[in-house]
Structure formats: C-alpha cells, structure tokens
C-alpha cells in the first residue's frame, strides 16, 4: 500500500483542503479523487514527489512566463 496525498484546489489553483491516505495503486487513488471532485473545482493526486494525476479544472499559470 502506498501513501497518496489528495489536494483539493479552488479555481485559482490554491489548496483548499488536503488529506493523505493509503491506496493499493494509482487507479484506486484516482477513483477516490474523482469522488471528491464531484463538489470541487480540481483535485491533484500525489505520491511522494510524483504527480499521479489532476482531475477537474484546467491548470493555468498567471503572470509572465
């Protein structure tokens, strides 16, 4: 079992909530994120330093590039 962090984001890509939980694999963690997403703007799933996936609103960066 791996530890995953789910970050609930607002429409400015700021973290509104976060939690850690153990899941058997990436697919199970992403399924949990999908359940959380139903009432939120976006959810990112991380394990360690690896982004597993982002569900929901489009990622955007403000300011000069």
- 10-residue stretch averages of pLDDT, the chain, 65 residues long: 95 92 97 89 96 86 59
3-state helix, strand, coil in the chain (%, to 5): 20, 45, 35
The whole-number pLDDT of residue 12 equals 86
Report if residue 39 sits inside a domain: yes
The whole-number pLDDT of residue 60 equals 62
The pTM of the full predicted model, rounded to 2 decimals, is 0.84
The whole-number pLDDT of residue 2 equals 95
The whole-number pLDDT of residue 65 equals 57
Report if residue 24 sits inside a domain: yes
The whole-number pLDDT of residue 64 equals 59
Report if residue 35 sits inside a domain: yes
Containing structural domain, residue 17: 2-56
Report if residue 44 sits inside a domain: yes
Quote the number of domains for the chain: 1
Neighbouring CB atoms inside 10 A of 14's CB total: 10
The whole-number pLDDT of residue 42 equals 95
Report if residue 63 sits inside a domain: no
């Amino acid at each position: 079992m791996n530890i995953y962090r789910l970050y609930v984001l607002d429409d400015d890509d700021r973290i509104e909530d976060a939690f850690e939980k153990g899941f058997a694999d990436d697919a199970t963690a992403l399924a949990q994120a999908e359940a959380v997403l139903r009432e939120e703007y976006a959810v990112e799933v991380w394990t360690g330093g690896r982004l597993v996936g982002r569900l929901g609103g489009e990622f955007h960066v403000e300011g000069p590039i």
